[in-house]
Amino acid sequence: MTDELEKRYTLQEVCEHFKISERTLHRWLDSGKISGMFLARQWRFTSDAIRAVEKAATRTEGQKGARKKRAYTRRADKAS
């Protein structure tokens, strides 16, 4: 009986895939945005974990009504 193991990706491979820094990927791990395993003193990620992040990103990008907050607020002119 042959048991196929799912490919596991390294931290560097995932960073290259998403075009992010290692620090950002560590933040994603801390926040729970991506799940990974720490094996033999190295982080490993499954393709399912990578797909989950991609799926979540496409859901939030396509939401209607999402607006950016303004960096300033308008004030009504005071008539003296």
- The candidate with the shortest Cα–Cα distance to 55, out of 43, 44, 47, is 47
One-letter amino acid at 15 equals C
CA–CA dist 5, 49 (Å, integer): 15
Helix 11-18 / helix 47-61 crossing angle, nearest 10 deg: 20
Q: What is the pLDDT of residue 1?
A: 45
The answer on pLDDT for 17 being more than 90 is: yes
Please tell me the predicted confidence (pLDDT) of residue 79. 57
Residue with tokens 């991506």: 34
What confidence tier does 2 reach under pLDDT thresholds 50, 70, 90? very low
Query: For the whole model, what pTM was predicted?
Result: 0.67
SS3 assignment, position 29: helix
In tens, the pLDDT along 21-79 reads 999 999 999 999 999 999 999 999 999 999 999 998 887 665 555 555 555 555 565 55
